[in-house]
Amino acid sequence: MGRMLEVLSANVSYGDMVALRDVSIYVQEGEAVCVIGPNGAGKSTLMTAIAGGVGLRSGHIRLNGESIAGVKPEDIAALGVTMVPEGRHVFGTLTVTDNLRIGGMLKSSSRQIADDIERTFEIFPRLRERSGSLAARLSGGEQQMLVVARGLMTRPRLMMIDEPSLGLAPMITEQIYHTVLEMRSRDGLTLLINEQSSERILKHADRIYVLRGGRVQLEDLAVNLRDGKAISQAYFGFHPQDEGAAS
């Protein structure tokens, strides 16, 4: 199992604000890797840089050993990388089916698009029920299903999902995780997921990175981190039980 994705000593700035500081991560083919950290840690910036939406000040990003730093987002998508952004960005004035068609724009034929829409309806039966509804009228959970399904329309090899549980009921979040993890087992989908909380992802991830202040504070196998102590220290910069003593 080789390394599908490598980010090496990546630095990203927005003007004078440094968002990523010498960040290095890797994702092996078929892995489920999670990056956790508080708001402003740089998690979304990391994914956006991988997807080609923001340039590196320095460092390298490699997909299957080939540099993709500076490559256009649409060309990175054509290589099998898709990103599901935070915030359930649906095209609200379009139907569910039309949102999925947009996800399939890279396909070579309308027949292939139709086949993949049918495939996503099999994965998310609720979307079939709502196929003619405007996306703006879907519930939050349905919209999250739709943006994941739209990403799957590209038949990605690497799917990056930014904050899939944000604002959703736990049952809906578990359903979304179950779906993408099932596709990982069945189709060999590789996953890179951002989350704020480690509680859920510890059950599903192979490896975890903790990002804080734009730096990687911790990297380890999820199985080694299940007591939560090392994650808490990396996430907060101290053990939570020490807060009272320090104040």
Q: Residue 4: what residue type?
A: M
Which CATH fold topology does 3-86+156-242 show?
Answer: Rossmann fold (3.40.50)
Checking DSSP bridges between strand 207-212 and strand 32-36, what pairing results, if any? parallel
The CA-atom distances, in angstroms, between 199 and each of 36, 155, 179, 214, 226 are 10, 29, 18, 22, 9
What is the share, in percent, of the chain residues with pLDDT greater than 90? 62
User: How do residues 71-120 score in pLDDT, each as one tens digit?
Assistant: 999 999 999 999 998 766 888 899 999 999 988 887 667 888 999 999 99
Query: Which residue ranges make up each domain of the chain?
Result: 3-86+156-242
Greater pLDDT, 6 or 152? 6
Residues 179-195 have pLDDT tens digits of 888 888 888 899 999 98
Q: With 60 as the cut, is the pLDDT of residue 133 above it?
A: yes
Residue recorded with tokens 């080939």: 66
